[in-house]
Amino acid sequence: MGKERVRCIVSGLSRYKLTGPEKQWVQSIEQYFNQRGVVTDQQESILEAIYTEKTRFIREAILFNI
């Protein structure tokens, strides 16, 4: 995952109410990313899953309004 994608997802997730564990995961991944400049495959998967879940309602609303 590219640096811009990581930043975009982390920034986008700040707009949503996250559960405690989700918030911890995002903070942990962001800290890891800031220290190393990359994320692991597992971190990438978790980050994408959280982002997909949080944005699912927006995507569905757009699809059904077209």
pLDDT band at 66 (very low <50, low <70, confident <90, very high): low
Indicate the pTM of the whole model: 0.78
Domain boundaries, given as residue ranges, for the chain:
3-65
> pLDDT digits over 3-51, tens only?
899 999 999 998 988 999 999 999 999 999 999 999 999 999 999 999 9
**Cα dihedral sign for 27, 22, 49, 65?**
negative
Q: How far is residue 21 from each of residues 17, 28, 48, 51, measured CA to CA in Å?
A: 12, 10, 15, 14
Instruction: Give the DSSP letter of residue 24.
Output: H
pLDDT band at 57 (very low <50, low <70, confident <90, very high): confident
Beta-carbon count within 10 A of 59 CB? 10
Structure token digits, residue 23? 């918030």
Q: Which residue has the higher pLDDT, 42 or 1?
A: 42
